[in-house]
Chains A and B, each alone.
Chain A
Amino acid sequence: MGFKEKCFKKSLWVFHMSAGSCNNCDIEILDCLTPKFDIERFGMKLVGSIRHADVLLVTGIVTRKLLPRIKEVYDQAPKPIVVIAIGACACTGGMFKDSYTFKGPLDTVIPVDAYVPGCPPKPEAMLAGVVKFLNKK
């Protein structure tokens, strides 16, 4: 088990950052909080500031204007931090890869630990992604 996985055995605090997304992935992340999926039963919760977070969920292509801000947010994060790329946009750029504002994909900007593909990934897929990452040997 790696160092990172060892650090994150207990309740994870999650910060969500949109790096130029279409809102869909973001809404599905919020959906994880609501009664049907309710990740709060595992002690996970969304926090308002990156300085409190264990996990950084990033959605969206990295746009030109957001590029420096994303780096800044990552620098402000307490380390170690788990970065999860949510959605096709963050993983590869998806259908926006030819756009003139595309400066990603995310893993060329900040180190990424896990990828959850899908457009948008279902809340179940996001939960499965986190669980898989934590069970990684």
Chain B
Amino acid sequence: MGKKTLVPLGPYHPLLEEPEFFKLYCDGEIVKEVIWETGYNHRGIEKLCQSKTFEQVFYVVERICGICSTSHPFAYANAVESIPGVEIPERAKYIRSIVGELERVHSHLLWVGLAGHFLGYNTVFMWAWKYREPVLDMFEIITGNRNSYAMFTIGGVRRDISPEQAAQLLKVLDEVERKTTLLVGAVMDDPVIHARLKGVGILTAEDIHDFGAVGPTARASGVDIDVRRDDPYAAYDMIDWKVITANDGDVFAKAEVRLLEMYESISIIKQCLEALKKTEAGDIKVKVKEIPPGIGIGHAEAPRGEVFHFVKSDGGNSPVRHKIRAPSFTCIPTFRRSCVGGTISDAAIATAAVDPCYCCTERMSHVYDYTTGKHIMSAAELIKLSQEKTKNLKAKLKV
């Protein structure tokens, strides 16, 4: 094998919205190895949550990631409500599902746009983001903010959806559905997109199991998992919808899964809006006095896959431990299968295909000394350790 060349991507790179660092080791055009360095965006959210009350945590977890800013509160609500075993009103369940699915629509549109941009189809980028705007406006009407909706609370939701808003939402959905059809046509029938995406960045079902990947990434490889169906929460078991899967595992299949999922989301929202009419307006919240000691586990299907939250309570007013796992945490390592063996020019779209979200995934790494169990964090301490090793060696070799 020839010499390997290192192509660094990041931490600030035109391709990446977020500060991330990838090292691509290449032999000529072919990517041989991908190494991902994390931690730039780490904001210590789990620790921060432990200093907030159960109510306040909603607004912190919402800010883990701006794009899926309802899936984290969703999973957290499921976790916290499972401790006292609260049953939320039916209307609140429907509203939760509406917000969750609306978010999926805007997130998938965003992905289609970005994928188009990466491929050099800036028209698709502009189109998709233009069609996303009415969805954001709808969010502003329903929740009061374009992103970070602050909609959830323990025992229900904070705002009701009025019949006028519902009518408006229906109109926007019809429009988005038409535009989705247009986008589907633009993507599925374009010979260039076929040539660029088919057979690129393939992940087999085995790869998915090896890495534990979730969400559309897994579904595009024929792994039929979806938390909304497998462990229903909110209103997902009260309405009729289906899980979209594809079998090829390439980037094209992932695009297909996402585009078709948008139709499902739109249909879910429409059914929920219909069901809202049968429930009593204003009945959106039950009062939860306290969270008893115990542990709660909750998950939710974010646009990118399963979000998992673990909350431990000691009966006080804030969690004593809060653990979060976002879908990108298991999806990003699949780059080692999807990019390796392909060309550098395909690496961009193969990485973008899992819709990676780095702010969700950020971890901090601790280096610690096995013998003393002490944490070593700073560079100075590491250098000291290295120097000590040399000293010990010298003493051993008696030089």
Where the two chains meet, the residues of A that have a C-beta atom closer than 8 Å to any C-beta of B are 17-28, 30-31, 34-36, 48-50, 60-61, 63-66, 69, 73, 95-96, 98-102, 119-120, 122
Where the two chains meet, the residues of B that have a C-beta atom closer than 8 Å to any C-beta of A are 11-12, 14, 17-19, 39-45, 47-48, 51, 59-60, 63-67, 69, 110, 125-126, 129-130, 133, 146-148, 357, 359, 364
CB pair A20 B148 closer than 8 Å: no
Chain B residues with CB below 8 A from A102, complex form: 43-44
CA A48 – CA B14 in complex, angstroms?
5
Chain B residues with CB below 8 A from A61, complex form: 43
CB pair A25 B14 closer than 8 Å: no
CB pair A23 B129 closer than 8 Å: no
Chain A residues with CB below 8 A from B125, complex form: 34
Chain A residues with CB below 8 A from B146, complex form: 28, 120, 122
CB pair A101 B64 closer than 8 Å: no
CB pair A26 B18 closer than 8 Å: yes
CB pair A101 B43 closer than 8 Å: yes
Residue picked from B12, B17, B45, most chain A C-beta under 10 Å: B12
CB pair A120 B44 closer than 8 Å: no
Chain B residues with CB below 8 A from A49, complex form: 14
Q: Tell me whether A22 and B65 are in contact in the complex, defined as CB-CB below 8 angstroms, given that A35-B129, A99-B44 are known contacts.
A: yes
Chain A interface mostly helix, strand, loop or mixed?
loop
Chain A residues with CB below 8 A from B129, complex form: 30-31, 34-35
Name the distance in Å between B196's Cβ and chain A's nearest Cβ.
21
CA A98 – CA B273 in complex, angstroms?
40
Chain B residues with CB below 8 A from A24, complex form: 63, 66-67, 69, 147-148
Name the distance in Å between A33's Cβ and chain B's nearest Cβ.
8
Name the distance in Å between B148's Cβ and chain A's nearest Cβ.
6
CA A25 – CA B41 in complex, angstroms?
14
CB pair A100 B130 closer than 8 Å: no
Of chain A, the residue at the smallest CB distance from B63 is A22
Chain A residues with CB below 8 A from B67, complex form: 23-24, 27
Q: Tell me whether A23 and B357 are in contact in the complex, defined as CB-CB below 8 angstroms, given that A69-B11, A99-B47 are known contacts.
A: yes
Chain A residues with CB below 8 A from B357, complex form: 23
Name the distance in Å between A90's Cβ and chain B's nearest Cβ.
13
CA A91 – CA B67 in complex, angstroms?
21
